[in-house]
Amino acid sequence: MTSPGRIPAPDVRVRILNVSTRKCIYSNSRDTHQLNHFDGTSVYDDQYWYIKPGQGDKQGLYMIVSAATGRALWANWRNGANNRNGEVGTGVNPGCYDDHYFDLEQTLGTGVQNGQFRIHSPAGKCNFFTRTHAKPELGCLADTGKIWEDQWFTFETEPLEFVRIVYDEDHPEIITAGIKLFPPQKATNHDSIETTQRLAISEETEQQSTFTAELGISITASVEFSCGVPLVSDGKVGISTTVSTSFAWGTTNISRQKWEAEVTLKCAPHSSTQCTASLLETRLRMPFVAHWKTKKSGVAVQTKGMYEGQSCASLSTVTSPLKYVPLA
């Protein structure tokens, strides 16, 4: 399932990583208020959360509920408590207090903060932070003050398995289009009669493709997946039937495609002919919806994303006469 905007679906577990410290928050009974943070490169079950949308008068707000303890994150500045660092923790009965709710969607970043969000509590009048340069390492600051780097976070979904991609073929965006020429092949007839010659064309091209998810959600997916890719052929945008198993999520994938053709030329007496092969080379973007399922529970997940790639299609050949140079 999907959630409004760029907020994770409510039944998919996510980790919440601080942009500045690269630590993720977790809930565990051994810590004060059952809340702490730890190095994001190490993954543990108590780091996972559910993002639950509010109902009724809390519509548009979200609870952040620990998948391990079932406790809800709360944050409250309360007139500068805790030496003006506010108070944060997790509590039972998610949703029973106003400071269990955060306006995550309204704090999604722009510009250099694209893909990031703040954990802002309207009721607690504060922005949640985690840091390592000062004590306390977890807290919240009044939302009337400056926004600091350690108040920005990103979502990372639990491990997902790729199912399929559905492209929005009605909204392609062609970025560039041009002709790629291969080195010409030459045929010469030194005889006094017409001859027939065959030229073999065999070349490789580099294909590029990048699949990125909607901003705000980092996909932890299988290393490789298979799907067709958009390309332009005969003036139309379509999806190739070629399946590749070398695509990696969120990075530029490089693959090579071999093009072969055989051209038969009729060569007049004492003449030379040149054959040039060309391809339509296009770079385009196309929106898509990626379908996944969680590895642990098999929950279906959909994420919007953008494909961008460079590809070649429509191999064609052109012959043209050359100046004939007799044998010495």
Instruction: State the DSSP string of 121-135.
Output: ETTTTEEEEE-SSSS
Q: Give burial (CB, 10 Å; 0-12/13-18/19+) of 9.
A: buried
Query: Does residue 269 sit in helix, strand or coil?
Result: coil
Q: Which of 9-18, 65-74, 234-243 has the lowest mean pLDDT?
A: 234-243
Largest pairwise CA distance in the chain = 102
Dist. CA 231–CA 315, nearest whole Å: 13
Query: Does residue 310 sit in helix, strand or coil?
Result: strand
Predicted confidence (pLDDT) per residue in 183-223, tens digit:
999 999 999 999 999 999 899 998 889 988 765 567 766 56
Altogether, the residues listed in the chain come to a count of 328
Predicted confidence (pLDDT) per residue in 20-50, tens digit:
999 999 999 999 999 999 999 999 999 999 9
The identity of residue 102, as a single letter, is F
The model carries a pTM of 0.72
* Residue 1 pLDDT: 39
Stated as kind and residue range, the H or E segment containing 81 is: helix 81-84
Mean pLDDT of all residues in the chain?
Answer: 90
Does 3 have pLDDT greater than 80? no
Helix then strand then coil, % of the chain, to nearest 5: 10, 55, 40
Q: Which structural domains are found in the chain, ordered by start?
A: 14-157 (2.80.10.50), 161-322 (2.170.15.10)
For residue 313, CA distances in Å to 70, 80, 180, 185, 205 come to 53, 64, 10, 20, 10
Predicted confidence (pLDDT) per residue in 215-232, tens digit:
556 776 656 788 888 888
* Residue 33 pLDDT: 96
Predicted confidence (pLDDT) per residue in 288-305, tens digit:
998 988 888 888 888 888
Q: Give burial (CB, 10 Å; 0-12/13-18/19+) of 168.
A: middle
Torsion sign, CA atoms 87, 88, 92, 98:
positive
User: What single-letter DSSP state applies at residue 54?
Assistant: P
For residue 59, CA distances in Å to 54, 55, 56, 216 come to 5, 5, 5, 20
Dist. CA 134–CA 131, nearest whole Å: 7
At residue 244 the predicted structure's pLDDT band, cuts being 50, 70 and 90, is low
